[in-house]
Chains A and B, each alone.
Chain A
């Protein structure tokens, strides 16, 4: 289930990052910072919505995080968000906290790698 794709799916797609770096040039660090800040906010939002057990809100937040992380090449993180979105879509929030924990862990990994990349 949640651990299904851990071996096959990468934490950060370096190809995507390289393209972004080329695209944004000097603005690339800005992008990374924006993503990290917004993501932290997004995780906080997920915590609140899961607590409130309003499935629709969880779904929207997960969906949004899924999209932005995919754009940054954080494929596994995006996949985890998709799972959470799926759960919320069907109203099955009983595993949601567990999923969120995994998301947090994954995000920390991604954040670390992104920071490395910048240096």
Chain B
């Protein structure tokens, strides 16, 4: 390791005899001596020889020791070059001045060998430790850069660049644990997530990685937000230390149903801005943050809201409301709410950022605000999601049959759609149609469950109050369900250049008079669930009701022809 020998020591003193004495002492300790006669020469010698330690006389002609010290210290940058002042200055003021100019220590005349030796040893040790510290810091900065790059890839992938989404995320998010995610479900629905990890720095942000993986994976497979939240909560609960958790909100925009499903746990109220009435619906946080509750104690409560085209949902972390100005005032909720008055939906995002920036200018960083907003649009505006068709076998199973019967307990607690979709896309030819297939099975299943088994009346969904009532009723009836079932019967057979998929759903409900039913897309009917049926008909080649009307069969052929 480093021993205290063979250092390069610069001796700067305008007095020849003093220099000679110092030189002798330093040489005797086994070090190399570089001499300078004045401050100016001291700086030159420093530049040329890069000494390890400098012995600097305070008062020198041409340039004095203090000035030379200032220059040398500024040239040294992050490196520690100990400078010991040689002085017979006695008064505290002068000594303080020496230290202020950057000096690290004093030595008074007459020079003592013993003392100088001790000082050289001590400062040499300090220099080594300092160099180690610098090296560690550099290493840490590099690691943080890598972490930031990985984090950015995770946090910024997904579909945040869709035309109906706008977001603001601090470039330093990796160090404050803010996360913003967006992904499409197979039926084209849009799921958004905003998370604010407690704690600071890298440890806080690390939780975002598994969270994002789970989110993207599950949403793309068609899992509901409750299922995603459960899985995320479980993972975070198991991996995060007790004091770290994630305040978050997750919302799903159903582009066909024109509705919003929302879960809020620990972040400030979400605002649902209705364009026509210019009203705000506040969606309050009524759940604990993610990673706090044990898996079996975590029951995410999701609320449902109608959302028309042009309506916007706003999700944010507490950075907006807690933004401070120079007088120490907070931006606060009243100010935020006031911004929504009479402002056009599309202008709100920019207005919020602008006003917070203006309020807090001079204090902190306004680009630390985390804000996510999305507007309801028609599916045509966004198109159907494209999924990675590279997984799975070539060909896959071509001739098969499968049936799945779900009783009351399963209907209450299990979402069969992701599993069924996963099976269907094992057929290579169906893979690129996962969006249509998911929409198809989703609509048929929800009709069978809600209208068949639970006997809900979809006419209610027409009004805002009725909407809430409908979903309340759905929840009540489902949790009270004692009997009933929904059965899937699926089959696939090969055809000429492709294949033929048959999807049959049967429910235990009373059925309906399908022969007389009105199939217009605009008139919701008891058993059609409104838009759903028109959509389903568009998606498949054949749709047939059978029996009492509680059994329906859809046929889906591939490859698809343009005309279909």
Contacts and interface: CB of A to CB of B under 8 A. Distances in A.
Interface of A: 16, 19-20, 23-24, 27, 30-31, 34-35, 38, 60, 63-64, 66-68, 70-73
Interface residues of A: mostly helix, strand, loop or mixed?
Answer: helix
A23 B25 contact: yes
Contacts of B18: 67-68, 71
Contact of A67 (B28, B61, B88, B113): B88
B15 interface: yes
Interface string B90-134: 000000000000000000011101000000000000000000000
Given A20-B21, A60-B61, 5 more contacts: A19-B113, A27-B20, A68-B18, A71-B17, A72-B17
A58 to B, nearest CB: 13
A31 B110 contact: no
B59 interface: yes
Q: Which 10 A-B pairs have the closest CB atoms?
A: A35-B17, A67-B88, A68-B15, A70-B109, A71-B110, A34-B17, A23-B24, A67-B109, A24-B24, A34-B16
A14 to B, nearest CB: 13
B59 A71 contact: no
30 contacts: A16-B110, A19-B113, A20-B21, A23-B25, A23-B28, A23-B113, A24-B21, A24-B24, A27-B20, A27-B24, A30-B20, A31-B20, A34-B16, A34-B20, A38-B15, A38-B16, A60-B59, A63-B59, A64-B15, A66-B88, A67-B15, A67-B88, A68-B17, A70-B88, A70-B110, A71-B17, A71-B21, A71-B111, A72-B17, A73-B110
Interface string B24-66: 1100100000000000000000000000000000010100000
B113 A64 contact: no
B14 interface: yes
Nearest to B111: A71
A18 B300 CA distance: 88
Contact of B21 (A31, A60, A64, A66): A31
Nearest to A82: B88
Nearest to A66: B88
Contacts of A35: 17
Nearest to B19: A34
Contacts of B16: 34, 38
